[in-house]
Amino acid sequence: MKTLYTVLFTLSIILINPWGSSRGLIWTSPKVLIIWLIVGVNLALLWEQRKALTIPRQWKISLILWTIFLSIGAISTLQSPFPLTSFFGQDQMGDGWLYWLLIAAFTLSNSLLLIVHPQLINSQFQGLLIGGMILSLSIFPQIIDWRIDYTATMGQIIRADVNASSIFQGQQPIGLYSHRGHAAIVLALIIITVLVGWFSRFTTTKLTAITLILTVPALLLTSTRSAILALMVASVYLLRGKSYKILVAIVPIAIIAIGIMTVSRPLDWSKPSIAQIMSSRSPMWTLSARGIKKRPLFGWGFDGLGIAYPYIRNAQVTPTVVNLDEFTYNYINIKGEISTRETPTYKAHNWILDTTLSVGILGLVAGIAVWGYYVCLALNYSMGGIEAVAIAYLIFTFTWFDCAQYAHIAWWTMSFATVKSASATRFSRFGAESGQLLISNYPFPITKSYISCISRK
């Protein structure tokens, strides 16, 4: 069973379908399939232990919060102009209502699983590290030849700067994802995770060093400023008061890298602007505000900007949209004929705007409640610093977004948060000879009070 979890968590990072006919089928669906398999295995193991399982109060509160969020999301989906898009999500993003139901099941089931089988934390942890190292190795060849994408059409191009798989030269290196930004946040989260494990005596110095030697250069090669900034801030939070030597190395490198990436962008320095520096995020944010005003309470459905775009593109005209595809939409023009326009993006590139566009202000409040409760619990988790992973993810999504290719990593770390202190686990470093992590349950007679996010009676 331990090996199975290691394999599944590795595949959740690296699995692709080289023969897929779209970005979603190549890079998104395979990883989502693995999450479904993990949930299935979790539920099977929990069913075997159902009579002995005691459900913590924190878990019940988490379930209530998830239920509220998903209920609001269901209303948003039913009221959406394109409910099927909201239900399944856009092809590449994949984070429709069904995906968030899956993430809720993944997080909640994993929380209970780690209560009854705490030794599986090791297997899951190792799977993510292995996946991160393989992802790093997949990035290096793409620096040499941008046509490498590990698909069945690898090496073929349909335009001078576009692969047959639809990957643009400027989006490389993608590793095993559909965009370099997606690969970058995965690497940043794994770097923070391995640091948390090292400081919690959860992994060896040798394994930590090998992981960092591979993942840090790979992250820098993705040239994704948001992921590097997220790593820097989360590292400062995690390492404060622990290891200033590491911080002295991380912070200057991150600042220099972000600076170089910014000035090397094709900017018009005669007219510098925030829009240029922010990679044209600000126009999307302005457009998003227009969409929120039109549907403030329940939004447009998941992946809301893409659904709303035909209706908010022109503030003076509301077209009759007859079809919404992955990158285009069809509408009836003033001559009564069907015309086609491009949908530039399905994401506002800001978590607050994306969430509000998708599920409205009510959904945003519910989403913040879910995140806030888990982070609050994580602050009191026995493996101190695990909330740093959530901090990195949330900073990244300030200028990026949720996506089914990688969101499960952040929620995996949050699944630790509801593990009741009475079933906490003790971690020790890998034995030098056996190479195995020793994890044992023990009663947890804490000498200092356990502070809960919600006051207890």
pLDDT band, very low/low/confident/very high, at 245 (cuts 50, 70, 90): confident
pLDDT (tens digit per residue) in 194-226: 998 888 777 888 889 999 999 999 999 999 999
Residue 298 has pLDDT above 60, yes or no: yes
Whose tokens are 């591979």? That residue is: 214
Q: Which helix (H) or strand (E) holds 339?
A: strand 338-342
Band of pLDDT at residue 230, cut at 50, 70 and 90 = very high
Which of 202, 54, 222 lies closest to 138, judged by CA? 222
The 3-state DSSP class for residue 280 equals: coil
Is pLDDT of 434 > 70? no
Label residue 128 by pLDDT band (50, 70, 90).
very high
Residue-level pLDDT at 246: 76
Q: How far is CA 82 from the centre of its chain?
A: 24
Tell whether the model's pLDDT for residue 242 goes beyond 90.
no
pLDDT at position 277 over 80: no
Higher pLDDT, 263 or 442: 263
SS3 342: strand
**Of 307, 295, 306, 288, nearest in space to 82 by CA:** 307
**In this predicted model, what pLDDT tens digit does every residue of 337-392 receive, in sequence order?**
899 999 999 999 999 999 999 999 999 999 999 999 999 998 877 566 889 999 99
Share of the chain above pLDDT 90, in %: 68
> How sure is the predictor about 418, in pLDDT bands with cuts at 50, 70 and 90?
confident
pLDDT of residue 430: 36
| pLDDT tens, residue by residue, 386-410 | 899 999 999 999 999 999 999 999 9
Helix, strand, coil percentages (3-state) for the chain, rounded to 5, are 60, 5, 35
Which pLDDT belongs to residue 32? Answer: 98
Which of 375, 349, 397, 354 has its CA nearest to residue 230? 397
* Structure tokens, 294: 């039109």
pLDDT at 280: 66
**Of 218, 159, 133, residue with least CA distance to 184:** 218
pLDDT at 438: 39
Backbone phi, psi, residue 114, to 5°: -75, -15
CA–CA gap between residue 212 and residue 165 (Å, rounded): 30
Average pLDDT, rounded, for the chain? 87
Highest mean pLDDT among 257-266, 393-402, 431-440: 393-402
pLDDT tens figures, 39-75: 999 999 999 998 888 888 999 999 999 999 999 999 9
pLDDT at 22: 94
pLDDT of residue 111: 94
Half-sphere exposure of 259 (CA within 13 A, CB side): 6
Q: In the beta sheet, which residues pair with residue 339?
A: 331
Residue for token digits 């988790």? 381
pLDDT at residue 441 is higher than 60: no
Residue with tokens 């989006």: 171
pLDDT in tens, 151-182: 999 999 999 999 999 999 989 999 999 999 99
pLDDT of amino acid 247: 80
Q: Is residue 16 a contact partner of residue 26, using CB atoms and an 8 Å limit?
A: yes
**What is d(CA 411, CA 402) in angstroms, rounded to the nearest whole number?**
11
Per-residue pLDDT, averaged over 296-307, amounts to 96
Higher pLDDT, 269 or 253: 253
pLDDT of 415 > 60? The answer is: yes
DSSP string, 205-250: HHHHHHHHHHHHHHHHHTT-HHHHHHHHHHHHHHHTTT-HHHHHHH
| SS3 assignment, position 52 | coil
Has residue 265 got a pLDDT over 80? no
pLDDT, tens digit (0-9, with 9 covering 90-100), for 14-44: 999 999 999 999 999 999 999 999 999 999 9
